Amino acid sequence: MLKIKIAPSILSADLSHVNEEIKQIEKYANLIHVDIMDGIFVPPTTIGSDFAKTIKTKIPLDVHLMVHEPSNSYIKGFIDAGADSITIHEEACKNPFEQINFIKKNKINATISIKPNTPLEKIKKYLDAVDMVLVMTVEPGWAGQKFIESTMAKIKELRKLKPNMDIEVDGGINPYTARVAFDAGANVFVAGSSIFGEKDRVAAIREILNSLK
């Protein structure tokens, strides 16, 4: 059975005190999810690789590039900042193999992501080249959106195709929706506001984990 992994998203944390925020959940998280937005692929603009360099944690950094056509030098900035895995979007890249191959050459994990309305067919040719697939369960770009349950059909199909691959979900994840995604076949759960929006962040993570038992 694949390991369940919790990936708190710092998009919902207080970025002015990001290391203090991470320290609160470090013992209970498997990944730290770092959302990067360019204002082109998605409307908001967020942090860049310079900010990522300031993150101090022993937990692997799961960098999610919601970025139009990220260049090798742009990606390398996050690798140099300590990323352990980098996610690119199928919809944002003309030839995702270029970015995937560059990431893998740098000896870190590569993930490909699709938006809620993108069919799984679009990424089947990349499945043997990546380490993980991120199925967005909301439209990328904004925190706090409602979970789109129809995306579970893609996760079920993906799990049949790749029984041993990590499948990540991101968007509207809380104890209830995490269970829905888990039952569909997901094993990596990005959660932002449902963790960092709570006073007791550890209790929030435990609640998600308890829902998956």
Residue 66 pLDDT class (50, 70, 90 cuts): very high
Which active-site residues does the annotation give? Answer: 35, 170
* CA dist., res. 163 & res. 172, Å (int): 24
pLDDT of 145 higher than 80: no
Residue 205 pLDDT class (50, 70, 90 cuts): very high
Helices (H), 49-151: 49-52, 72-80, 96-105
For the segment 38-58, the average pLDDT, to the nearest whole number, is: 93
For the segment 145-161, the average pLDDT, to the nearest whole number, is: 96
pLDDT of 142 higher than 80: no
State the residue for tokens 């199928």: 90
pLDDT of 94 higher than 80: yes
For the beta carbon of residue 168, count every other beta carbon within 10 angstroms. Answer: 28
pLDDT of 168 higher than 90: yes
110 Rama sector, left if φ>0, alpha if ψ -120 to 50, beta otherwise: beta
- Residue 141: what pLDDT? 79
Asked if 100 and 128 count as a contact pair (C-beta separation under 8 A), the reply is no
* CA dist., res. 202 & res. 188, Å (int): 17
Q: What stretches of the chain adopt beta strand conformation (E)? A: 5-8, 32-37, 61-66, 83-89, 109-114, 132-136, 166-170, 188-191
- CA distances in angstroms from 167 to 39, 84, 200, listed in the order given: 26, 16, 27
Asked if 84 and 61 count as a contact pair (C-beta separation under 8 A), the reply is yes
The DSSP output letter for 114 is E
The candidate with the shortest Cα–Cα distance to 133, out of 159, 152, 107, is 159
Three-state secondary structure call for residue 70: coil
The candidate with the shortest Cα–Cα distance to 68, out of 44, 92, 88, is 92
Tens-place pLDDT, residues 175-201? 999 999 999 999 999 999 999 999 999
- Residue 43: what pLDDT? 87
* CA dist., res. 104 & res. 96, Å (int): 12
Query: What domains can you pick out in the chain, each with its CATH number?
Result: 5-211 (3.20.20.70)
